[in-house]
Amino acid sequence: MQLRNEAYWLPGCLDHLRGHVDAIVALDDGSTDATAALLEREPSVADRIANPPSPDHAWRERDNKLRLVERARQLGFDWVLCCDADERYESGFLSRLREIAGAFLPGDVVSIAVSLKELWDSPRHYRQDGVWGTKTRARFFRVPPRVAYDLDSELHGQWYPDHLRKYGRIVPIDLRLYHLKSIRREDRLRRRDFYNAIDPHRRYQPGGYDYLALEPDDMLIEAIAPGREYDYGTVPDDLRP
């Protein structure tokens, strides 16, 4: 996990991961809220990397990922599951992590890709029209013998390292990752403005970021079907219906 000022989302995320992963490796990228204290109190955190707070903070996603996955390799972990504080995996995915990893031979270089669903106006509904229905994320992968991200971009890059890009494959499965920071309109606007500010020339996303807050008349919102849920109890109290 890489985090910065995620104290609002972090307790629920830790709750939803606890018991499904062997340990958590976290990079606190200069938080000024209670993020550091929450990580220090969490027994499942095996290691915490900390960058000092800075008034001119700039995201260094590539360096953060390198340090995190390399630390996981040093600690002897075979597989890595990457998760942001404002994300929740489908319960059926978390319960099957060991089964999924065990289905591959030791030499297989693979990353498991799941569908990304942006929750919209409710913790139990997601947006499905247009690009919203096609998003995927490859977030569960075998740790390579050498960790490098020379082929990755600084923003919106992939979590899996260069070794997998060169020698491995992406394996899609019909399971989901839910993103909570699109539930409230004010958060969607804040997210749009954040990315417009750090990528004003659309270097990392040519299509820009305005779409994050657009709501056309033909917008398609679907309810999470029974059996595809995440742990709703890990949603912040003020977002629960």
pLDDT tens string 165-198: 999 999 999 999 999 999 999 999 999 999 999 9
Predicted confidence at residue 183, as pLDDT, reads 97
Sign of CA dihedral 201, 203, 207, 213: negative
pLDDT bucket at 153, cuts 50 / 70 / 90: confident
Predicted confidence at residue 57, as pLDDT, reads 79
DSSP symbols for 11-77: HHHHHHHBTTBS-EEEEEES--SSHHHHHHH-TTEEEEEEEPP-TT----HHHHHHHHHHHHHHTT-
The whole-number average pLDDT for the span 30-44 is: 95
pLDDT bucket at 55, cuts 50 / 70 / 90: confident
**Res. 103: pLDDT tops 80:** yes
The whole-number average pLDDT for the span 224-229 is: 98
Predicted confidence at residue 86, as pLDDT, reads 98
Tokens of 86: 């404002």
Predicted confidence at residue 137, as pLDDT, reads 97
Predicted confidence at residue 76, as pLDDT, reads 95
Q: Model pTM? A: 0.96
Predicted confidence at residue 59, as pLDDT, reads 78
Question: Percentage of the chain with pLDDT > 90?
Answer: 91
**Would you give the DSSP letter of residue 154?**
S
**Res. 241: pLDDT tops 80:** no
The whole-number average pLDDT for the span 53-81 is: 92
The whole-number average pLDDT for the span 3-17 is: 97
Contact assessment for residue 146 and residue 163, using Cβ atoms and an 8 Å cutoff: yes
Predicted confidence at residue 155, as pLDDT, reads 86
Alpha carbons within 13 A on the beta-carbon side of 158: 21
**Would you give the DSSP letter of residue 153?**
-
Q: Which amino acid belongs to residue 23?
A: A
Domain spanning 2-227: CATH 3.90.550: yes
Q: What is the rounded CA–CA span in Å between residue 167 and residue 217?
A: 44
| Residues contacting residue 118 through CB under 8 Å, at least 6 positions apart | 126, 127, 132, 135, 179, 182
| pLDDT mean across residues, the chain | 95
The whole-number average pLDDT for the span 203-212 is: 94
